Each structure stands twice: as structure tokens, then as C-alpha cells.
Structure 1
Amino acid sequence: MNSASLKSRAGSDLPWMDMVAGLSLAGLLASSSIAYARLGQLPPQAGLIASALGLLCYGLVGRSRFAVVAPTSSSATVMAAATASMAGGNALLQMGLSTALVVLTGLMFMLAGLLRLGRISDFIARPVLRGFSLGLAWVICIKQVPTLVGYSAQASGALPTAWELVTHVDQWHPWSLMVGLTALGLLCLGGIYQKLPMAFAVIVLGIVANRMLGLNALGVAEVGAIQLTLQRPQLPSLSQAQWQQLAEMAMAVMLMVYGESCTSIRTYSLIKKDPVDANRDLWALGLSNLTSGLFNGLPVGAGFSQTSASVVYGAQGKATTWVALVALLILVGTSLPYLALTPEPVLAAIVIFSMWKSLGWGPLKIYFGLHRSRLSAVAAALGAIFFGVLDGLILGIGMSFIMALLQLGKGAVQELGRLGQDTVWVDRDACPEAQGVPGVMVLRPDEGFTFANAESLCHAIRQRIESAPIPPQVLVLSLERSPDLDGGAVESLRELVQSLQEQEIRLIFVRLSTRVIQVLETVHLFGIPDEHLSELTVHQGVLQAEKSMGSANAGAAA
């Protein structure tokens, strides 16, 4: 079969594949939206509204063809933890706080997009994010067990809830436990056939069982009436102090949502050769959360579970998103009375099953194998379990910043030498056979110069010079790992140049980026000639240093 016929055949198959994927995805989102609304301690309609608006807004603005923007278990749990602590048991106030938190999250996404902070997710170290996700998965599952077994737990934290469940086994509701375990069993069985929307199928079976067996009359709780009404968008009436406190929490929610979204988008961009525009995604996620918040919906993101489910169902492009949106609207418009009959243990089973693969230590094995970042990953996991979701997230983000500062503050500088007669210059500590050039010292910082490490790097450079058996006449400094220089770095370099001039050591900069050259020429580093600020290689810089030493020696002899 030739390439033209292959293209024709693929083109005819794509719409059908997107249609099947969209219909399957709509069933999954209908069930998960209601389940995640429970996690967020909001009415079921909050999840349905958020799913519809997330699909619409990201479909219009977002770049990825495979990302599915909808409520996620992690963002719903964090939102509930943040607002419950402020509401003090007032359900109406908690709903207003949730609305404000989602709106602020959307605005912060848009601000990040305006500032083109596409790499903002890097502020959360990957080990911390993995560890927190593990702890969060355990917290979510533990908090769903009371609903699964039909027990009304009084404890608030994950560990106290687990202890209360263990010590009150005699108060578990047998029918609720039977329904929940049956739903879990069907979900596990359906996992063998991954292209089937088993979550939706289990909800349908739960509704049928409720109608035929009268589960509600037997004491099994059900979702209850779903009042889906779109009210006029408006902000809640909150105090200035409440807005300020929510703004701090919104920053944490934004970082977590974008970290999760960025992971799923990048994963499938590599697998599917799908182009990525991180700054555009910031705008798309911002618009999605802003509109969801204005209509009292949950926070949304490109969660890994729904995005991977879309690909498994056969999605080939954005047509899947539009099919899923239309199907979800039709489903909600025609089936709300039936969805209200969904047994709550079934929703709890769906949430637990969606978290099941995240409960293992597999994602953290790499950090233990490399003997790196183990403490931060484990601390983030235990922080979420022992101190709660919100405090665990803040602890994780704080640890990320500490890790970054510690890494930046090391101030390591390599001294380079030449291998034989080659033009290749390498680290002399790693290759003792590498030789230097008399009168010339070649140094290269391990990290780029920034305000956070400039002082320590300059100190390391001075130490290298002081420890040399014979003080060098010329210092060749390679800044190849510094794409730009901030004000603090420039000021530190200025002091370094001044101290070298006092020691009568000439300085030649090499491997400079165009931007760094412009900066150094602008600030006039104590009269260093422009030819000593260049993009030359290290070897070319050494040749220039030898030439300058020869000229200086000839001048001294004359």
C-alpha cells in the first residue's frame, strides 16, 4: 500500500476514532466530575460545570491536541483543605471561598502567561512533586473509605480518620460496604479492557441497582438532587484579609495544577510529536479556571488520568475535546435525575480506583537508586499525610525553594587544562593529566552567575587564584553557563575585576552569550577592552592571553 493510500485511509479513520474517544471521555468526565466535587466539598454541579468550561476554554485557546482540562482529584482536595480551614463549618462561606480561590488561581495563571513564565512549574522540584503526589493519593483514599463503608467519620486528618475507622469497624454499614466493594471489583475487572469507560458503566449499574433493589431505603446514601443552574457570574463578598489569605493559597494551587498539567502535556507531546507552547497553555489554564470560578466550579487542569484516558480511548486530535463537550452537555441535560440516584459508595470507589496506581513507591525508586533527593521526596509525602494536604503542599514548595537555593549557593568553580596538544580543555580535577599554560589560569563556574550564587562563585575564583603555586598573570574566565546576568551578578563581577586589577592580573572573558556581552559592555567593567569580552572558545582565549603576556613582557624589557 502506497503512502497516498495510507494517508487517505488514516484521514477517513480519524473522525471516527475521535468520536469514539470523545463519547468514552464524556462518560468518564461525568462520573469523575461528580466524584471530585465531593472531594472539593461542593455540590455535584460544581464538577460538571468545571468539566464543560475546562473543555471549552482549553479547546479554544490551548495548544496541545491531547490535553483534557477538567477537575482533578489533587486540586479539588487542596481546595477543600484550604477553604474548610477558613470557613469553620459554614457551608455557604466555604462555597464563596472556593469561588474566590478558583478565580484567583485563574488570574495568577494569566499573570504568569503575561510575564511569559512558561517554566513556572520548575519552581516545584520533581522529587517534591512526586513525593507530594504519593502522600496526596494516600490522603484521598483514606478520606474516601468512610463513604465506601457507610460510616460517618468525625476526625479531620488522614491518620486520625484511619484510626477511627479501625476502632469502629462494628459501625460500618454492610450494604454500603457491599456496594462499594462491588464497584471496586467491577472497576478492577474493567481495567483489563482499558478502552471501555468503566467508571461511567459502574455509575449506570449503581443507578440501576438503586432503583431495582431500593438501596437508599436500605441505608445506602445517594448523591441526591443536582440543581444545575448557571447564575450570573459574580465575586463573593469577602474581607480584605480573606482575599489576601486566599491569594497565598491560590499561588500554591496554581503551581501544583500547572506542575501536574505540564507533566501530562509534555509526556504526550513527546509520544505523539505534538508541539507545545508553555506560555499559551498558561493563558488557556488561566481562562479555564477563571470562568470555572465565576460559575462556582472546581479548579481545573490537564490531569494525567483524564489525558491518558483520552489517548487510550483513541484520541487523534482536538476533535475529541469537542465531541466530549457536546456529549457531556447532552448527558447532563437529559440525565440529571438519574445521576442523582448514584450511590455514594460507588463514587468513593471511583475515586479510590483512580488513585490506585499512585499509591505505590514506584515513582520514588529512581531517587533512592541514585541516592539523590530521597529526603525531599519522602518528606513531601509524609508532610501531606501527617500535616494535611495544604500544609504538605506548602511544605513541599518551601522545600523546592530551599533545594534550589542550596544548589545555587554551592559556588563550585572548575580549573581547566589542555589534553596534550589538543584544543580541548577539560576539568583538571577530573583529568589530572590535563596541563595548564604557564602564567595563565583558566576557570569555569559550574553554574550560571545569578544574585543567589554570585558571591560564592567569586569567592571560589579568588580561592583558586590564592591556592595557585605561582599567581597567574592572566585569568581566562569562561561564562558559557550564564545566558544572562542580573544586577547582583554584575555587581559581584565588578568587585572581582577590581580585586584582580589590584593584583595586576588581567582578565579575559570567553564563551559569552550575546546578551552577556551587551551587559558587560554597558557597565564598563573597569576598562576591560572589548576584545576581552567575546564569544571565543577557551583555547582561543588562552592564545589571546599568551599574546597579551608576550606584549606585556616585551614592553617591560624595552
Structure 2
Amino acid sequence: MPHLRQYLPILDWGRSYNRHSLSNDLIAAVIVTIMLIPQSLAYAMLAGLPPEAGIYASIVPIMLYAVFGTSRSLAVGPVAVVSLLTASAIGQVAEQGTAGYAVAALTLAGLSGAMLLAMGLLRLGFLANFLSHPVISGFITASGILIAASQLKHILGIEAHGHTLPEILGALVSHLPDVHLPTVLIGVSAIAFLFWVRKHLKSTLKRIGMPGLLADILTKAGPVGAVVATTCAVWGFGLSDQGVRIVGAVPQSLPPLTLPSFAPDLVGALIMPAILISVIGFVESVSVAQTLAAKKRQRIDPDQELIGLGAANIGAAFTGGYPVTGGFARSVVNFDAGAETPAAGAFTAIGLTIAAVALTPLVYFLPNATLAATIIVAVLGLVDLSILKKTWGYSSADFTAVASTILLTLGLGVEIGVAAGVIISALLHIYQTSRPHVAEVGLVPGTQHFRNIHRHSVITDPSLVTLRVDESLYFVNARFLEDLIQKRVTEAPSIKNVVLMCSAVNDVDFSALESLEEINQRLADMGVGLHLSEVKGPVMDRLKRSHLLGALNGQVFLAQYDAWQALTDPHRPLSRVAE
């Protein structure tokens, strides 16, 4: 049974489920459902799909995650960034509005789900660590800007298409003479109202004496207020007959049973976007889940999260949806509303099912401009240009990675942008580790500690050089260490012993081992001893399986102070290096 609970977390939290949890989960579900109805419609439009696809993608996936996921607060469904990636990917293989476009969305969800599920079963959750935080932040910031820019066409009531910021802005400028003023009025009013709701409604309601919980619910339902007001305005004033574009007829039905395509050409075209969506979606989801879990001293299992998200995406593929993941905004709302278990998500799915069956006729006159306003207000919260300032002051490598990701995503598209960001991060990491920090250290007077001679007042022996290597040794940096030691010894004929202080060396690969053997041989030819100190156990285990220790022209010391005592002559004058 414990092994089964590992893959079915519902068996774990379900055993302690009680009336108190039920009450809190139901309240959270009501709040999140109210929020998700307009949001799901909006994100489907962002993905280039019919509005009902957003609701369908928010029903079965949530239920499956409740069974297989480990986070008690994560709310799974369509999110802005994944919707943008979906539109970018399937827009290259099918024309928007066609049956092929919808099938491509199902296929993309199925591929993403299969990849996530496979990664989870193979315990590959650690692979997400290869995406650095600056790259993710840069990508999400650039995506937020792209998404907001892409929705301006709906606010202005014009046709303007493009996948990059220059393309979008160019199309908007060229179609400015076609701006539809009633649509602009609706869109700008909705944006202004939603920003006011986000910043001021809760405090205003509390000032007039409304209970905190009710004020919170009404604030979260702000987008619904915009939807109701603008829908009534379009219907009452007949604005759809005057050119205001509306959602139109949305099928009243449960999520349909659908089947993704297994055509080799389509699968081949979507395989790389599916990998990108899987990784980006998982990183976003697990980051949110871990943040919320920490607040309640809970933990999540990243590998099981992969399984939960994989099941959710497979569910979306067979029920008329498109790729989904854990969303930041909806998850925070779910958490703040008091959700205690994943059952809150299941109750949310039930609420959305009722909406899909009974409420869709009410959105017939809902203007596209309102949905665009909902998206713009939501995604602008993702834009964080301060990451540029933070990384500029902290690390030039991280600044390069985040700036490149932002510029390439805006200029060349989301897929190229994030791929380039990952590649640049990897190359910068390789470059940095190819030139590891190696400090020459001396003895701190009156202690057994050794510190950098350029940073501290220490004692040194002219015949002894101790180099602290602050990086694992591998094929990229092995030659660098070899050249550094060669240069240091040839510059000072008084040197008789070299000690490599290995306290920060976690690994030595075969190329580095051969370099150490070469260093040992060169120093031996020069009459200089090579010694090692503070070698970690796992590293020593590997060195014992090599020829290095047997041929070493020196000793291996447990502590650097032992090496100092053994290799310095108490009668030889020592040097004092001032800080």
C-alpha cells in the first residue's frame, strides 16, 4: 500500500479528509470557479482555439491532477505562457479556425502529457534544474510583453497578426486607420476597471464594513463583473451589429471525447514544441507548488508532480482541451481561499462542468475586447524588468543570459528565445568553470585555518605553495589548472612543494585525472613535490582506483594544517603577507 500511495497521493490525503476540509475546499472551489470562467475563455482565445476549449481544458485535467498530484493548493489548467507557446507551435502546422488546428492542439497536449509522464516514471524531475532562474524570469517577462502586445488587436478592434514583437507592432501601426472606437471604449474601460479592482476594490469594500472573506471573494470575482457589464452593454446597445466582435455561440456540452492525431508528420513537427512546453510548464508549476507548500510546512514530490501533470495533459488531449499546467494566479487564489486538499480542484472542475452545460449561452454577447483586457491585466503581473537591474549588479553572466532571453524571445519568437537562453546559460557556465577560481592560501596567524593571500593577513613559506581549487575538475578546466601550476612554479625557483587543497573539489573526471598525472610528472622532473590535502571521500575513492596515488611525487594529507606542519621547515624564515 505505501508503494501505491506513492503514485496515488489521493490515498494519502484522502484518509484524513473530514468535514472541516470539505468546507474549506468548497469555499475555495467557488472562488476559483468564478475566476476561471472568464480566464479559461480568454486563454483559449490566446491559444487561437474556440472559447469552450479553455473550459474543457480546465475540467478533466484538474480531476486527474487531484488524483495523481502532490500539491494541495496547485490549480491546474490553461495558463498564459503555455497558451502562447501552443499558439506559436500549432500556428506553424495548421491554420487557425480549422479542424486541423484543433487536432494539432490535442496532439500537442498528448505529446506533452506522454513526455511528462515518462519523465516522472523515470524520476527525471531534476532535469528542470538545467533551466536557470534568470532564463525562466527573462522568458516569462518577454512572454508577458508578447502576450499583452498580441491582445492589443482585440482592444483596438483590428486585424493584426505576428509572432514577434516587431511583427506585432508593425501590424498594429499599419492597421491603425481601421481602429474601431466602440471596441476601444469597451477594451480600455475593462482594463481600467480590472486594474482598479486589483489595487483598490478589497480595501474599499473593507472600509464600508464588508467582512474580509466576502470582500476577498468579490475582488477575485472582478473579471466576472467586467464580463457581465460589457456583455450587457453589447447586448443592450446592439454593439455587435455595429462591428464589436463577440464570442458568439459556445456549445452547451460536457467535454467531448476526442482523439489526438498520430500522423508521423504532425507528431514530428510538434515534438520539439512539446518538449519545450513540458519543461516550461513543469518548471512554472513546480515552482508555484513548492512556494505554496512551504507556507504550510508541506512538501511536494517533483517526480510525482511530473506524473500528475502528465496525466492532466493526457486528459486534456482526450477531452477537447490543449496543454495545461499549474497556474500562478489561480493557485495563489486557491491557496488564499483556504483550499486544504486537491479535492478543491475537483470541486472546481464540477463548477466548471456546470458552467459548460448551463452558462455558456450567457456569454454569447461577451466582447473579445473584454477577454483581451482580462489577459493583459493578468500577464502584466508576470513582467518583471527589474530582473535586468538585479542581475546586472550581481552577475554579468546571469545578466547576459536574461537579457539575451528577453531580446531573442521578443525579436525572434518564444521557442527560439527560450532555447537560446538555455544554450547561452550552458555556454556561460562552461566558460566560467573552464577558468575556475584557484586561490593561493596561507596560514592565518594563531589558527589552523588557511585563507587567500590576497584577502587576508597570512603566513607563507617561500618553498611551499598551497593552491585551493574552488571547482570540480573535469575536461573543460583540467588544462587551465595544469598551465597555472606550471607558470607559478617556473616563476619561483625557491618552490620545493606544491599542495592542492581539494576541500571544494567534488569530482575529478578522467581527463582531469590525466592532467593531474601530467602535473605530477612535470613537477617530479623539476624536483618539486606534488601533494593533496582535504580530499573528499568520494573523490578519494575514485583516485584509489587510479595510478595517480601510487605515482604521486608527494603525500595525501587529511588536513591542510597537517601538510603545513610536514612541509615547512621550522628553522626557515617565513613570510608575512599583509591583507
Task: Find 1:143's aligned residue among 136, 143, 150.
Answer: 150
| 1:477-556 correspondence to structure 2 within 5 Å | 477-482=501-506, 484-500=507-523, 502-503=525-526, 505-525=528-548, 527=550, 536-543=558-565
Residue 358 of structure 1 is matched in structure 2 by 382
Find the residue that maps to 1:64 and give its secondary structure: coil
| 1:402 corresponds to 2:427 | yes
Contact (CA 8 Å) 2:254, 2:353: kept in 1 or not? no
Q: 1:155 to 1:258 in 2, by over 3 A?
A: closer
Residue 51 of structure 1 is matched in structure 2 by 58
1:439 Cα offset (Å): 4.7
Q: 1:469 to 1:205 in 2, by over 3 A?
A: farther
Task: Find 2:46's aligned residue among 39, 46, 56.
Answer: 39
Contact (CA 8 Å) 1:145, 1:348: kept in 2 or not? yes
Task: Find 1:73's aligned residue among 53, 69, 80.
Answer: 80
Residue 330 of structure 1 is matched in structure 2 by 354
Residue 103 of structure 2 is matched in structure 1 by 96
Residue 384 of structure 1 is matched in structure 2 by 409
Percentage of matched positions with identical amino acids: 24
Q: Deviations over 1:272-330 (max 9, x none)?
A: 43323323323322332233234442222223222223233344443432332332223
| 1:118 corresponds to 2:142 | no
Task: Find 2:344's aligned residue among 295, 313, 320.
Answer: 320
Q: 1:287 to 1:505 in 2, by over 3 A?
A: farther
1:350 Cα offset (Å): 0.4
| 1:305 corresponds to 2:312 | no
Q: Distance in 1 between matches of 2:349 and 2:488?
A: 63
Q: Distance in 1 between matches of 2:510 and 2:452?
A: 29
Task: Find 2:497's aligned residue among 473, 479, 485.
Answer: 473
Q: 1:443 to 1:348 in 2, by over 3 A?
A: same
Unaligned runs of 5+ in 1: 1-10, 550-558
Contact (CA 8 Å) 1:498, 1:526: kept in 2 or not? no
| 1:197 corresponds to 2:221 | yes
1:198 Cα offset (Å): 1.5
Q: 1:38 to 1:267 in 2, by over 3 A?
A: same
Q: 1:95 to 1:511 in 2, by over 3 A?
A: farther
Which is worse superposed, 110-119 or 215-224? 110-119
Task: Find 2:67's aligned residue among 39, 57, 60.
Answer: 60
| 1:81-92 correspondence to structure 2 within 5 Å | 81-87=88-94, 91-92=98-99
Task: Find 1:288's aligned residue among 312, 317, 329.
Answer: 312
Q: Distance in 1 between matches of 2:166 and 2:101?
A: 24
Q: Distance in 1 between matches of 2:307 and 2:478?
A: 34
Residue 180 of structure 2 is matched in structure 1 by 173
Find the residue that maps to 2:57 and give its secondary structure: helix
1:24 Cα offset (Å): 0.9
1:331 Cα offset (Å): 2.5
Q: Distance in 1 between matches of 2:463 and 2:501?
A: 14
Tell me the number of residue pairs that the alignment of Structure 1 and Structure 2 aligns: 534
* Cα RMSD (Å): 3.2
1:253 Cα offset (Å): 2.3
Q: Distance in 2 between matches of 1:503 and 1:414?
A: 23
1:74 Cα offset (Å): 0.8
1:352 Cα offset (Å): 0.5
1:76 Cα offset (Å): 1.1
Q: Distance in 1 between matches of 2:452 and 2:122?
A: 38
| 1:424 corresponds to 2:449 | yes
1:494 Cα offset (Å): 4.6
1:115 Cα offset (Å): 4.5
Contact (CA 8 Å) 1:155, 1:164: kept in 2 or not? yes
Contact (CA 8 Å) 2:53, 2:321: kept in 1 or not? yes
1:486 Cα offset (Å): 4.4
Unaligned runs of 5+ in 2: 1-17, 203-215, 571-579
1:507 Cα offset (Å): 4.4
Find the residue that maps to 2:545 and give its secondary structure: helix
| 1:411 corresponds to 2:418 | no
Q: Distance in 1 between matches of 2:282 and 2:492?
A: 48
1:387 Cα offset (Å): 1.6
Q: Distance in 2 between matches of 1:88 and 1:12?
A: 50
Q: Deviations over 1:419-450 (max 9, x none)?
A: 0131111122222x222356543222222234
1:140 Cα offset (Å): 0.7
Q: Distance in 2 between matches of 1:463 and 1:293?
A: 62
Contact (CA 8 Å) 1:37, 1:43: kept in 2 or not? yes
Q: Deviations over 1:514-551 (max 9, x none)?
A: 3323322233435269x9668x343345456679x9xx
Contact (CA 8 Å) 1:494, 1:526: kept in 2 or not? no
TM-score scaled by structure 1? 0.85
Q: 1:494 to 1:296 in 2, by over 3 A?
A: farther
Q: 1:513 to 1:294 in 2, by over 3 A?
A: farther
Q: Deviations over 1:468-519 (max 9, x none)?
A: 443333524314341x444544454454445455556554444444332332
